[in-house]
Structure formats: C-alpha cells, structure tokens
Amino acid sequence: MAACIVCPKRPLLALPFLLPSCEPVALELRRNQSSYRRTKQRLRVKPDASFGASNQSRDHIIYNPPPTAPSVYQTPTKFLPPDDARRALRTDASSGSENLDSFAPIYKSSPEKTYHLSPSDIEEIRKLRLTDPMSWSRWKLAKRFGCSPMFIAMVCEAAPEKKEMQKQVLEAIQSRWGAKRRMAREDRQLRRETWGRDE
C-alpha cells in the first residue's frame, strides 16, 4: 500500500482516510491531490548558472541552449580547410572545453597495432586455412599468429567446401527458428540498416 510506505510514522488517527471505513477510490483521490505548497515545491528547480547574477553588473547575454544533437551542417573545426575564416573564429570557449580524460572510452583497452607478421607468415596462414580448414579456424589462426580474427579474414578466404559446410550448418540452425525469432532477427537487421541512414 503506497500510503503506508510514504508516511508510516504518522499516527493512524491523524489520517482518517486510512481507516477501513473509507472507500479506496476516495483514498486515492485524497492522496493524489496536490496542494499549492507541494506544487510550488516541485517546481522549485535550481536555475542554470548562466541565469544567475554574475559578478559583472552590466547586461550580458544568457546562453543556455537546450540539449540537442549538434547539426551536421556545422562543420567540426578540424574538418575546415586551412584557408577558411571560421577556423580563426572558433576558440576554445566556443568549442566547449570538456575534459577529455573524464570520458570513458567504449572499449576497455585499444590494442596497439604491432605489424609483426611478415609476408611469409601470411603465406603460411593462407596455406593452413586452405589445406586444413576444419582444424585451423579463424580464431585458432589468430591465436597462433598473435593477431585478430579480423586480420585473418582480411588476408585469406575460407576453402569453398568449408564455406558450403558452414552454409548448411546455418541453414540447419535457421530451420529450427520459429516465426517470432525469425521476425525479431529480421527487425534487428532492419534497425541496423537505419543507423547508416541516420533515421
């Protein structure tokens, strides 16, 4: 019961509507009725700093834009060509001096690129993957050569019979899907396509 949770310490006699003789409809109405004082209290939001009395007594411009996504028509300063006049106009203050270090990166650690594989290694990767595709998967090759599976996919392609087998495995899995799962997967794919169109 919501009322009991909100004010459990009040004496029951002071709240006559809590007595069982009271109807539940009336009780709800009574609790949701906001008083003038309560309304004022809720609306008392601390104003933004730029609205407050600043140290300078002169008139000044209040700049407090609503939080919106930045427009794509406003070119970032880094993307302006060197002879553009807007480069000089944009100062640190206008670009928003945010503390970059306080932002957490998406990935825990960005791996440093080592570029340690030689052409002979790449030849070996190709040979292993083509001759014995069952035992040398992308993950195993990546582990052995100390690179990412993405790199393995970039330098070589799976053998055709392995591709055919994987296709059959996928079809077997998908044949067990019901309508709900299939539609959910298709919807997810459609949603992912809207990312690139910015919809």
Partner 1 sequence: MKRLQLLRWSSSALSARARAGVRLQQNIARGARYQTTVSPAAQSESGQLADEQSFPPQFSSNPQQSKYALPSPPVEAARESAKLAALHARLYLPSRLPLETLARSLVDTSADPNPNFNNESLATLGHDLLTYYTSEHLLCTYPRLPLTVIFAAMYAYVGPKTLTAMAKEWGVETAAAPGGEVDPGLLQFKRLLPGTELNAEGATMRPNAHQKSWRKSITSRIVYDNEFGEQPQTQAPVDAQGAQGVSFERANATFVRALMGSIYLHAGRPAAKRFFEQHFLSRHLNISELFNFSQPARDLSRLCARENFEPPVAKIISETGRKSRHPVFIVGIFSGKDKLGEAAGASLLEARSRAAVAALKGWYLYSPLNVRVPSSTEEEGAAPWKPVHVDLGEVIV
Compose the 60-99 pattern: x for residues touching partner 1 by CB under 8 A, - for all others: ---------xx-xxxxxxxxxx--xxx--------xx-x-
Residues contacting residue 141 through CB under 8 Å, at least 6 positions apart = 125, 128, 129, 149, 152
Least Cβ distance, residue 56 to partner 1 (angstroms): 30
Cα(75)–Cα(177) distance, integer angstroms: 46
Considering only 33, 91, 94, 110, the residue that binds partner 1 (CB under 8 A) is 110
Asked if 155 touches partner 1 (CB under 8 A), the answer is no
Structure tokens at 78: 């880094």
Cα(20)–Cα(1) distance, integer angstroms: 13
Q: How many residues bind partner 1 (CB under 8 A)?
A: 30
Q: Which of 65, 30, 38 is nearest to 51 (CA)?
A: 65
For 150, phi and psi rounded to 5 degrees?
-60, -40
For 34, phi and psi rounded to 5 degrees?
-90, 135
Looking at residues 168 to 197 of the shown chain, list those that interact with partner 1 (rule: CB under 8 A): 192, 195-197
- Per CB under 8 A, which region of 40-48, 100-108, 131-139, 160-168 contacts partner 1? 100-108
Considering only 5, 104, 172, 173, the residue that binds partner 1 (CB under 8 A) is 104
Find out whether 133 and 162 touch, Cβ atoms under 8 Å: yes
Q: Is 198 helix (H, G, I), strand (E, B) or coil?
A: coil
Compose the 10-49 pattern: x for residues touching partner 1 by CB under 8 A, - for all others: ----------------------------------------
Least Cβ distance, residue 31 to partner 1 (angstroms): 27
Summarize as ranges the residues that interact with partner 1 (CB under 8 A).
Answer: 69-70, 72-81, 84-86, 95-96, 98, 100, 103-107, 110, 192, 195-198
